[in-house]
């Protein structure tokens, strides 16, 4: 049985506050992950687009790794024509085809452009860590554990290492400077 790839539900019977769910597309580092979204529907919908952000943390050039905010021109351009389903499908497409020249997260975009294989592994590890993906990475997990042993919170450790291209010494420097 194939997992439902997108899904929308109401929060507390309020049609203006919805939760979306998308599956990471196959052949991407997000494969196997389930990503939860917050969807706020404005009074003026469908003339203004819904406001969407990722609740599940994700490593992607067009999505803030800190806040889940999305850099999305697709929502601005054809807002009136987009159903909520189309919005989720276009986000799923964005996961499969990042646009690093229009980044929301400059650090991720730099890694995407300068060290794509490391970006891929990092995005895959974030998917495992936050979104239930299957692809473990014992090397990355070990480095996160090293920092945890120094009293660093697990999330901060993950962010620092990801940001420093998994160079432990650099991450320590960044965390303790």
What token pair was written down for 10? 């109401």
Residues lower than pLDDT 70 in the chain: 1-4, 72-81
138 falls within a domain: no
pLDDT value, residue 75? 59
Contact in structure between 29 and 116 (CB atoms under 8 Å): no
87 falls within a domain: yes
pLDDT value, residue 171? 97
The residue range of the domain holding 87 is 6-103
Inter-CA distances, 81 with 45, 78, 84, 127, Å:
11, 6, 10, 31
How far is C-alpha 153 from the geometric centre of its chain's CA atoms? 20
> What's the CATH number where 41 sits?
3.10.110.10
pLDDT value, residue 74? 57
Work out how many domains the chain is built from and give that number: 1
152 falls within a domain: no
pLDDT value, residue 12? 76
Per-residue pLDDT of 14-64, as tens digits, reads: 778 999 999 999 999 999 999 999 999 888 887 777 889 999 999 999 999
Residues identified as active-site: 71
99 falls within a domain: yes
pLDDT value, residue 112? 98
150 falls within a domain: no
54 falls within a domain: yes
120 falls within a domain: no
14 falls within a domain: yes
Dihedral, 102, 107, 113, 115 alpha carbons, nearest 10: -160
């Amino acid at each position: 049985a194939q997992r439902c790839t997108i899904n929308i539900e109401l929060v507390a019977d309020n049609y203006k506050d919805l939760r979306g769910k998308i599956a990471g597309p196959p052949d991407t580092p997000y494969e196997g992950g389930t990503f939860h979204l917050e969807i706020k529907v404005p009074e003026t919908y469908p003339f203004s687009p819904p406001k969407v952000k990722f609740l599940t943390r994700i490593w992607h050039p067009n999505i803030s790794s800190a806040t889940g905010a999305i850099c999305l021109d697709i929502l601005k351009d054809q807002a009136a024509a987009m159903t909520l389903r189309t919005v989720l499908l276009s986000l799923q497409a964005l996961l499969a085809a990042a646009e690093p020249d229009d980044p929301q997260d400059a650090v991720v975009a730099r890694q995407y452009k300068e060290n794509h294989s490391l970006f891929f592994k990092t995005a895959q590890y974030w998917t495992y860590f936050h979104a239930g993906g299957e692809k473990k990475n014992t090397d990355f997990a070990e480095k996160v554990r090293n920092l945890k042993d120094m009293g660093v919170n697990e999330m901060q450790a993950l962010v620092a290492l990801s940001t420093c291209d998994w160079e432990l010494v650099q991450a320590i420097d960044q965390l303790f400077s």
